[in-house]
Amino acid sequence: MSKKILVLPGDGIGPEITAEAVKVLEVCRDQFGLDISWDEGLVGGAGFDATGEPLPPETLDKAKAADAILLGAVGGPKWDKLPDISKRPERGLLGLRKELKLFGNLRPAILYPQLADASSLKPEVVSGLDIMIVRELTGGIYFGQPRGIRELENGEREGFNTYVYSESEIRRIGKVAFEMARKRNKKVCSVDKANVLEVTMLWKEVMEEVAKDYPDVELSHMYVDNAAMQLVRAPKQFDVIVTGNMFGDILSDEAAMLTGSIGMLPSASLDENAKGMYEPCHGSAPDIAGLGVANPLATILSVAMLLRYSFGEGEVATKIEQAVSKVLDQGLRTADILSADTRKVGTQEMGAAVVEALKAL
Ligand code: NAD
């Protein structure tokens, strides 16, 4: 049966970059014979403008019925001042993650050798970098109860949150990380703060239990402060990093920045059955929206992740990645990754070049 993708362009540069990704899907269907189809929906500010909701019920229904979702980006200054926080574009995203139970966030940090100069680190430290950060996305301190700001007896205010993880939450994200490592270089580094926080002592224990089912994968542990340091000192020592929601939030942005080109990085958020939402790591870039200069490669690479992780089409996924690499070899660059001796192209020209490279594979 045909696999269904819901395409959610969203706001800002979202529609421009997803349009190029859809052209890549067309090649996958027409030339590589994938039995896929897609439909579009509204989310974020676009959803709010059309229906008064950042996650219109129709979009949620389509998302539930789809086998995978491809999202552009949401948000922008137009909606930043909406007084009702529940109507802000970001709520559309959070709603999708929650309703679809997308607990496993995969954030690769890959530095194409052709772009080694884009990093703020020395090329020899980062060239060829390929890390996968597996972040727990629906638990931990961002969701723990109780939370709030209360007034103490002495009249002073106190803010509080709860950092909580159940064994089953840790186990399921652990499995995602170990399965991932099996397809890569067979190393998992679990990041915690087990010297201080009980919740991460349990995290560490459960990771060791999960590791027993994966004797072919090497497990190591690292405190989060050291992990932040090691990521800038010697990032290539890592293969898969698995960590909780808050540490993952911070470390994945740090790792993304090592590559120096956020316009290149895809991401995935998966449920227990490998259904997922795929999106570029960057936002809606309102400063360049509508100018036709946005880099579509992160979104195109998100299509590769979608095919690999939700549809089991690793070979076609690899072809898309090879096509991107070939286009970089040709010296084509959008403005965000431009360097000496390369040729500046816009969003559509970059998309067309990837399509041509893909067709030639
Ligand atoms: P951003 O990622 O949108 O932009 C940061 C900088 O990177 C900007 O200068 C932008 O022009 C540039 N940039 C981003 N993507 C690019 C691309 N593909 N090609 C070329 N340049 C690119 O982050 P921001 O400015 O902090 O946020 C803008 C809006 O996006 C906000 O409303 C924010 O809430 C939203 N946002 C959405 C998501 C999401 O949809 N997942 C993620 C982050 C931020």
- Could you read off the pLDDT of 36-91 as tens digits, one per residue? 999 999 999 999 999 999 999 999 999 999 999 999 999 999 999 999 988 999 99
Does pLDDT of 258 surpass 80? Answer: yes
pLDDT at res. 150: 96
State yes or no: 61 annotated in a binding site: no
Q: Which residue has the tokens 């019920």?
A: 57
pLDDT at res. 127: 87
CA of 116 from ligand 1 middle (Å) equals: 22
Pick the CATH number of 111-261 from 3.40.50.300, 2.70.98.10, 3.30.2420.10, 3.40.718.10: 3.40.718.10
pLDDT at res. 1: 78
212: annotated active-site residue: no
193: annotated active-site residue: yes
The pLDDT-based confidence of 180 (bands split at 50, 70, 90) is: very high
List of long-range contacts for 81-90, beta carbons under 8 Å, 24+ apart: 82/48, 87/48, 87/52, 87/53, 87/54, 88/54, 89/10, 89/11, 89/43, 89/44, 89/45, 89/47, 89/48, 89/54, 90/44, 90/54
- What's the chain's average pLDDT? 96
Which one is catalytic: 249, 275, 278, 319? 249
pLDDT at res. 320: 98
Lowest mean pLDDT among 118-127, 230-239, 339-348: 118-127
Are the C-beta atoms of residues 81 and 45 closer than 8 Å to each other?
A: no
CA of 283 from ligand 1 middle (Å) equals: 3
Q: Is 289 in the pocket of ligand 1 (CB under 6 A)?
A: no
The pLDDT-based confidence of 261 (bands split at 50, 70, 90) is: confident
- The string of pLDDT tens digits covering residues 2-19 is 999 999 999 999 999 999
Cα angle, residue 67 at apex, residues 63 and 71 outer, rounded to 5°: 55
For a substitution probing ligand 1, which of 284, 293, 302, 337 has the most ligand atoms within 8 Å of its CB?
Answer: 284
Residue having the nearest C-alpha atom to atom 8 of ligand 1: 285
Closest CA to 355 of 339, 335, 338, 332: 332
Q: Is 295 in the pocket of ligand 1 (CB under 6 A)?
A: yes
Domains 1-103+271-361 and 111-261 share a fold: yes
Residue having the nearest C-alpha atom to atom 23 of ligand 1: 283
Q: Is 336 in the pocket of ligand 1 (CB under 6 A)?
A: yes
CA of 282 from ligand 1 middle (Å) equals: 5
State yes or no: 291 annotated in a binding site: yes
Does pLDDT of 289 surpass 90? Answer: yes
Q: Which two tokens stand for residue 293?
A: 């200069």
Q: Which two tokens stand for residue 24?
A: 């890549």
Q: What is the 3-state secondary structure (H, E, C) of the chain?
A: CCEEEEEEEECCCHHHHHHHHHHHHHHHHHCCCCCEEEEECCCHHHHHHHHCCCCCHHHHHHHHHCCEEEEEECCCHHHHCCCCHHHCHHHHHHHHHHHCCCCEEEEEEECCHHHHHHCCCCHHHHCCCEEEEEEECCCHHHCCCCCEEEECCCCCEEEECCCCCCHHHHHHHHHHHHHHHHCCCCEEEEEECCCCCHHHHHHHHHHHHHHCCCCCCEEEEEEHHHHHHHHHHCHHHCCEEEECHHHHHHHHHHHHHHCCCHHHCEEEEECCCCCEEEEECCCCCCCCCCCCCCCCHHHHHHHHHHHHHCCCCHHHHHHHHHHHHHHHHCCEECHHHCCCCCEECCHHHHHHHHHHHHHCC
Does pLDDT of 260 surpass 80? Answer: no
- Give the rounded percent of residues in the chain with a pLDDT score beyond 90: 89
CA of 261 from ligand 1 middle (Å) equals: 12
* Residue 208, strand partner residues: none
Residue ranges of domains in the chain: 1-103+271-361, 111-261
Residue having the nearest C-alpha atom to atom 37 of ligand 1: 283
Q: What is the mean pLDDT of residues 211-240?
A: 98
The distance of Cα 338 from the centroid of its chain, to the nearest Å, equals 23
Residue having the nearest C-alpha atom to atom 26 of ligand 1: 283
The distance of Cα 25 from the centroid of its chain, to the nearest Å, equals 19
Cα angle, residue 298 at apex, residues 75 and 312 outer, rounded to 5°: 115
Instruction: Please give the class, per CATH, of domain 1-103+271-361.
Output: alpha beta
Does pLDDT of 119 surpass 90? Answer: no
Q: Is 284 in the pocket of ligand 1 (CB under 6 A)?
A: yes
Q: Is 90 in the pocket of ligand 1 (CB under 6 A)?
A: yes
CA of 208 from ligand 1 middle (Å) equals: 37
Does pLDDT of 339 surpass 90? Answer: no
253: annotated active-site residue: yes
Cβ atoms < 10 Å from Cβ of 124: 9
Q: Give me the torsion for CA of 353, 354, 357, 361, rounded to 10°.
A: -170
Lowest mean pLDDT among 192-196, 219-223, 261-265: 261-265
Residue having the nearest C-alpha atom to atom 44 of ligand 1: 283
Burial call 237-269: b when 16+ CB within 10 Å, e when fewer: ebbbbbbbbbbbbebbebbbbbbbbbbbbbbbb
Q: Is 76 in the pocket of ligand 1 (CB under 6 A)?
A: yes
The pLDDT-based confidence of 113 (bands split at 50, 70, 90) is: confident
State yes or no: 273 annotated in a binding site: no
